[in-house]
Structure 1
Amino acid sequence: MFLKCFYFISIDNYITETIIWNIVFGLSVFILILIVFLIILRNKIRIDARKYAIYEKKTEQVLIEYLYAVNEGLELKDDKKRNKLKSDLLNRRKRKIITSIFLKLRQEVSGGLIINMGDLYEKLGLHKYDRIKLNSKKWNSIALGLRDLRLFRVKGIQNSVSKFINHPREEVRREAHLYFIGVLGFKGLKFLDNLTRPLSEWDQIQLLGQLKKFDDQEMPDISNWLKSNNDYVILFSLNIVSLFNRIETKDELLLLLNHENEIIRIKAIELLSKFEFIEAKSILIKNYENLTKKEKIVFWNFLKEIATKEDSTFILKHINEESFEVKVIALEILVSINKKEYKLLEENSNDASLNKIIHFLNRNYGY
């Protein structure tokens, strides 16, 4: 019985050992095949990298020669090179290379060469691939498509771009807004008519930077945007008014003094001060008690530029404001428009903080 059990155990051990060795052998073969495959793949990647690096260098040279030839007014009757590039676009890898070369050169050229690049971009049909990106479900693809269409100033696609003005992603909205300004100039500001989303301060800086490249004689009437329901549109419009000195917007600026948004009211006061529209003074004095602390400081700075002797009564009435900054400005205005009242105040004031300011002004400015 014992011998019989030992026999069966020996057979089981033999079978198990055989199976294990077969597995080891199979894994070894698999690993060997995998190593060979990886070596081949790595070599192929290296070969492809060298091949595409050579292709990129040659293609860049072709594009540069083409652009300069067109810029010098040379007729290119034999367009074999351009047709070759056109056919290369069917290859996704080559298309990426050509696009990257265009983007690289776009940063390096200027003047007429930029226009030539835009023309060649469309002649090759690269803009069609960017328009396809606008139908993508990926927001980053849409943003890249909009960026390239803007950089190469592709026109006639405003309707396609307009649907991204209020896109949920800020990056897509930004590129859509920049497209309208970068390609259409001041005419592109019409996108503000339909803007319902926020317009960040950084976006406004970029858009204003684009606008500065164009002739402001082409600027449309912006008064309607100063009445927009979107506070961000109003703030951006106020920045345009400031940058391009649009003094014809006086009536709209005066109306904004009653806007519910404090930031807009402050910006309006600053612009009215910049343009020295004295009509704002009576409005602000009348509504002074309702102004916020920040508005009051901006108003006093405004008053400092346009105050007359007739304002002495108002100044003396509010000379004891809690704000230290307001007290300093009020005293500076008073001494400049009515030294007699200033001296009387100096002699009769029992306010310690006010007396310190008077002493400071007298010592430092010789009042």
Structure 2
Amino acid sequence: MSKKLNELKISTPGRVCLFGEHQDYLKLPVVACAISLRISVEGHRRDDRIIKVQLPDISDEETFSLDEPIIYSKERDYLKSSVKVLMKHGFTFSNGFDCIVHGQIPINAGTSSSSALIVTWINFLARMSDQSQILPDEKLAWLAYEAEVLEFSEPGGMMDQYSTSIGGIIAIDFYPETRVTRLNTELKTFVLGNSKQPKDTKYILSHVKDQILAVDKILRNIEPEFSLQTVSYDDLRFYSKYLSDSQYQILEGTIKNRDLTVLARRELIRKNPDHKLIGQLLNEHHNVLRDMLNISTPKIERMIKAALKSGAYGAKINGSGGGGCMFAYAPEDSERVKDAIEEEGGQAFIILPDSGSRQEIPEVVK
């Protein structure tokens, strides 16, 4: 048994959005937490310029050549887009790679499995490139955002890439410019619940995003100084006469979420926050997402209700919604909360905050 030359293994966490769901693409603040479910890419250089990636978790495999122009052959062709973005930024590759991807993160469930894969892959590629670069966390996040969102004109924001790259608990401000703050707060056990209901992330994101951007455009035409970043919740009623009931509802929900995020961040800046208050704010955030943005599902509601009844301090849907995951903050009774979620048909994981994208010790290969 011996290790192959040039072997490298990189892993990256998934994430939950603690506060600020459907906010980052509006340049409104978010608070996110990397979680102890990870995805890894392990591989070595080849003698030719072929990239071959095995994805056994989804019974798939991808192969393409660096000697040919990179042409996307499917929607969200992330393995190719990551290479293309790195080349655009001056990275070169004299060799291809044989790689294998393994993941613990639920797929298409709102826990950033796609972003974690892209961050992992770009981290791997940059280190294995001719330039052999270890990218700073925030540069890694930006390159992943380019490869995932900009290359395919997707509707998403930047939270996923920054959270999975940097790790821990972070607050991100996007206005007037992007600023990431690492929060050294000590949160305890969460329970992640996968409803196993597939969701159309692209549709849900664009649906919610298109609605609030239409509202923003209407109000800016009436009042050029109007801003989602600065408007006071108390002043919203003034704008109701210009909007339909549904438009006003999504505006009100957006600003409520913004203000809840600011309030939660104020508590999370503390080293030892009030854990019961964090749970209460999670519940309030979920109520807005359910009742005003309409992104929850009956099954997720049952899972949340069961988690709260079993001792969780708070719970909310996670990600764009319409299926996927919820999570509960459960510093006590986490096993009981896990069992309750599973009794409602969910797949449950006890998780903790985790570090960002990192190099691992590769497994020994024959």
TM-score, with structure 1 as normaliser: 0.24
Judging by fraction of residues, say which structure has more strand. Answer: 2
Judging by fraction of residues, say which structure has more helix. Answer: 1
TM-score, with structure 2 as normaliser: 0.24
Bigger CA radius of gyration: 1
